[in-house]
Amino acid sequence: DSSSQYVGLNLEQTFSPTLLGSLRAGYQNKSFDADEISDESSPYFDAKLTMVASKATRISAGIGYSMFEADVYPFTSQDRTLASLSVAHDITARFALYVTGSYQLSEYSGNQSLDQTASDGEEEILQASARLAYMINRSNWIELGYQYLDLSSDFREEFDRNRVSIGWRTNL
């Protein structure tokens, strides 16, 4: 088990009617109950810019860095850097298209491991997705999506994945 403490600041700025920005930054500390794992502290930040290119198109770009829960055993945490770019476009009043790409670098340290013989390493995830949404009414949408993911790792088998989805989204 662990406990985390955060202190930070969140700023949002409207630079113009077509350009919005946000910044979240601070410091985090994570304490572990297990004696063999040392506590860890790290700065964090997330920055995002959104441009309203037209009444129908929005473009967002973001980058962030933080200490995050580990995805790989036996590590307890990872230092994660994430960059993303997304475009949302209203094709018509009822159809919308969303396209997103992201790159994630996860760095693992051997001193943040349940196994003290574990060595440092990293994982990289490249992801791209597209989603088409049809608005049935103000509360209901039908969505068709595609996602591609490529994982490169120093710790586990590397893979790429293609996923197709269809779903119903509702706002209650």
**What is the model's pLDDT at position 117?**
79
Q: What are the pLDDT digits (tens) for 40-92?
A: 899 999 999 999 999 999 999 999 999 988 888 888 889 999 999 999 999 99
Q: What are the pLDDT digits (tens) for 26-51?
A: 999 988 877 777 788 999 999 999 99
Evaluated on CA atoms 75, 30, 61, 162, the torsion sign reads positive
What is the b/e burial string over 129-156, where b = at least 16 CB atoms within 10 angstroms of the residue's CB? bebebebeeeeebeeeeeeeeebebebe
Other beta carbons less than 10 A from residue 79's beta carbon: 18
Nearest of 45, 41, 84, 81 to residue 61 by alpha carbon: 84
Q: What is the domain range of residue 127?
A: 2-170
Give the CATH number of the domain where residue 135 resides.
2.40.160.10
| Mean pLDDT for all residues in the chain | 94
Quick one: how far is CA 169 from the chain centroid?
21
Report the predicted TM-score, pTM, of the whole model to 2 decimal places. Answer: 0.88
Give how many domains the chain has, as a whole number: 1
Residue type at 139? S
Candidate from 72-76, 106-110, 134-138 with smallest mean pLDDT:
72-76
